[in-house]
Amino acid sequence: MTQPLRLGIAGLGTVGAAVVGMVARRAEALSASGRTVAVTAVSARDKSRDRGLDLSGFAWFDDPVALAQSDAIDVFVELVGGAEGPAKAAVEAAIASGKHVVTANKALLARHGAALAKAAEEKGVALAYEASVAGGIPVIKAIREGLAGNAVSRVYGILNGTCNYILSRMEAEGLTFEACLKDAQALGYAEADPTFDVEGFDTAHKLAILTSLAFGVEIDADGVSVEGISAIQPLDLAMADELGYRIKLLGVAQATEAGIEQRVHPTMVAKASAIAQVMGVTNAVTVDADAVGELTLIGPGAGGKATASAVVADIADVAAGVRRPTFGRPVAALSAPRRVEMQRHEGGYYIRLTVHDRTGVAAGVATRMAEAGISIESIVQRRSAKAASSDPKGRSGQPVPLVLITYAATEGNVREALAAIGRDGLLAEAPQLIRIERE
C-alpha cells in the first residue's frame, strides 16, 4: 500500500489555516493520484492563538527549521514569508533533508530562487511555487507548461491587489491616494507600512519570477526598474479617462533586440483592453506569444482561500509524482539576462506639467520637446476656474496643469526634455510621467 504524503505546514496565518482546511475537505480528490495526502505537523509563532482549527492531531514545532528537518513529513509547506530569516533557513533545511518544498514566498524566490532550484535539482525534490505570483491564478503552470510550445515576447499584468484597489477607488470616486490608502488599510488590503505594495516592490518580485519563466533567463530582481503609485493624483486619472485610458500599476517584461526589459510603473492602458477592465483587488496577467497570440488570465490575486488553492495545486502535483524544472528548464540551462536600462525604453508618454500660467509657456515646452526629438500627439492646458475668473482675458501667472501625450519616444529623451524645461524655470512643481502601454 502506498504511504500517505505527509505535509508539514510552517505558518498558520490566513493562508496556512486555509490550506489545512482545504486539504481536509479535498482529501478524496487529492488521493485520486493513488496517494493520500494529510497534514501531520505544523509550526507557528504562537501555539495558543485561536485559529479556528483543531491542531491536536498534528505534531507541533516552535521552530520551522526543525519541522523542515523532521522525519515526520515528506513535504515542507513554507507560508512564513520573507526573503531571509526563518523562511530561507527552513526551505534550505527541507531541501537538504530531501523534502519537497511548496511555497508562496515571492520575495524568497526573487532573491534566492536560482540557488534553491539548483539545490532541489541536486536532491531530486520539487520546489513548487504557484501561489507566489497572482494568488489563485494558475499563471506559473500556464507559462511553464501550457505555453511550452510558444515563444513569449511580452508578459505583463496587474500583480498587486492593493494598488489596483487604490487606483480603482481613486478613479471611480475622485479620491486622493492618501484617502484610498487609509481605506485599504482599514479593510485589511494594505499593511500598516504599505511601502512594499504601493511603491511597486511586491510587483517587482513577482515580475522577476515571471520573466525567468517566460524567457528562460536567470531571475534578476535587481534588474527591475520600479516606480510606485503614491504620486498619482485624481487629475491624472480624470485625464486618462478623457483620453480613453485607465491607469494601472503594471509589471512588464518584454523581449527587445537589446535584451529583456523589466519594469514596474503606473501605466495608461486603453479602456478597451482586457486588463483595463480589471478593478478592485483582482489581479490579471497577459502573455503575448507567437502561437496563441494574446492570453489574459484574471482572478483573485490574494486572500486565504485563493492562495491556498494554488498551494494545494502544487501539493497535488507532488502527490502525483509530477516533477518539473523549477523555472521551466534546469538551472544550468537558464541564460544570463541582458538588462535593458529604463533610459532606453521606447513608447508613448503621458506628461503632466504644472507650469506658470503666462504667455509663451506652452510654446517653450513644445520647443524643448522638439529639441529632444519628441513628437507631441496632443497637448491640453487646463486653467482653474479661479485663475480664469480672476483674469478672464489674460494669464494669471498661477500654476496650472499642462498635459502632453507623446508619440513613441525614448525615456532618455523625455527625461532630457523635462530637465531642460525645468532649467528654463517653467515648472511650478515636479513633473508627472506615466508610460502608455499600447496594444
Per the annotation, where are the binding residues?
10-17, 106, 191
The 3-state DSSP class for residue 288 equals strand
pLDDT (0 to 100) of residue 142: 96
Per domain, the residue ranges of the chain are: 5-132, 145-300, 343-437
Task: List all residues 6 or more positions away from 1 whose beta carbon is below 8 Å from its beta carbon.
Answer: none
Please give the CATH architecture assigned to the domain spanning 5-132.
3-Layer(aba) Sandwich (3.40)
Q: Which of 203, 246, 210 is nearest to 226 (CA)?
A: 203
Per the annotation, where are the binding residues for NADP(+)?
10-17
> How many helices (H) and strands (E) in the chain?
15, 17
The 3-state DSSP class for residue 6 equals strand
pLDDT (0 to 100) of residue 393: 54
Copy the grid coordinates of residue 59. Answer: 505534531
Largest CA distance in the chain: 90
pLDDT above 70 covers what percent of the chain? 96
pLDDT of 391 over the 60 cut: no
Beta bridge partners of 376: 406
| For residues 424-437, average pLDDT | 92
Q: Give the Cβ contact number of residue 428 at 10 Å.
A: 14
The 3-state DSSP class for residue 310 equals helix
pLDDT of 390 over the 90 cut: no
Copy the grid coordinates of residue 211. Answer: 520573466
| For residues 236-244, average pLDDT | 93
Compute the mean pLDDT over every residue in the chain, rounded to the nearest whole number. Answer: 92
Per the annotation, where are the binding residues for L-homoserine?
191
pLDDT (0 to 100) of residue 396: 61
| For residues 417-439, average pLDDT | 91
pLDDT above 90 covers what percent of the chain? 80
Q: Which of 49-53, 121-125, 367-371, 420-424 has the lowest mean pLDDT?
A: 49-53
**pLDDT classification of 364: cutoffs 50, 70, 90:** very high
Q: Which CATH class is domain 145-300?
A: alpha beta
Q: Which of 358, 361, 353, 362 is nearest to 419 (CA)?
A: 353
Please give the CATH architecture assigned to the domain spanning 343-437.
2-Layer Sandwich (3.30)
pLDDT of 292 over the 50 cut: yes
Question: Torsion-angle region of residue 285: left (phi > 0), alpha (psi -120 to 50) or beta?
Answer: beta
pLDDT of 386 over the 60 cut: no
Is the entire prediction scored with pTM above 0.85? yes
Separation of alpha carbons 10 and 51, rounded Å: 14
Asked if residue 405 lies in contact with residue 347, where contact means CB atoms within 8 angstroms, the answer is: no
SS3 content of the chain, % helix, strand, coil (to 5): 40, 25, 35
Task: List all residues 6 or more positions away from 29 whose beta carbon is below 8 Å from its beta carbon.
Answer: none
Q: What are 137-157's pLDDT values in tens digits?
A: 999 999 999 999 999 999 999
pLDDT of 6 over the 90 cut: yes
Task: List all residues 6 or more positions away from 67 whose beta carbon is below 8 Å from its beta carbon.
Answer: 8, 10, 41, 42, 43, 61, 73, 76, 90
Q: Which of 157, 165, 108 is nearest to 134 (CA)?
A: 157
Of 44-48, 81-85, 186-190, 337-341, the range with the highest mean pLDDT is 81-85
Q: If you count them, how many residues does the chain have?
A: 439
Copy the grid coordinates of residue 74. Answer: 515528506
pLDDT (0 to 100) of residue 1: 46
pLDDT (0 to 100) of residue 63: 96
Per the annotation, where are the binding residues for NADPH?
106
Q: Which of 116, 39, 43 is nearest to 74 (CA)?
A: 39
Separation of alpha carbons 195 and 247, rounded Å: 19
Asked if residue 366 lies in contact with residue 394, where contact means CB atoms within 8 angstroms, the answer is: no
* Residues assigned a catalytic role: 206
Separation of alpha carbons 210 and 28, rounded Å: 32
H or E, element range at 54: none
Asked if residue 226 lies in contact with residue 204, where contact means CB atoms within 8 angstroms, the answer is: yes
Of the chain, the end-to-end C-alpha distance in Å amounts to 55
pLDDT (0 to 100) of residue 394: 53
Q: Which of 292, 282, 267, 289 is nearest to 347 (CA)?
A: 267
Q: Which of 313, 288, 286 is nearest to 298 (CA)?
A: 286
Bridge-based pairing of strands 5-10 and 75-78 is: parallel
Q: Which phi and psi angles does 342 have, rounded to 5°?
A: -60, -30
DSSP per-residue letters across 163-202: HHHHHHHHHHH---HHHHHHHHHHTTSS-SS-HHHHTSHH
Q: Which of 170, 193, 416 is nearest to 280 (CA)?
A: 170
Copy the grid coordinates of residue 370. Answer: 522638439
| For residues 308-328, average pLDDT | 94
Bridge-based pairing of strands 5-10 and 225-226 is: unpaired
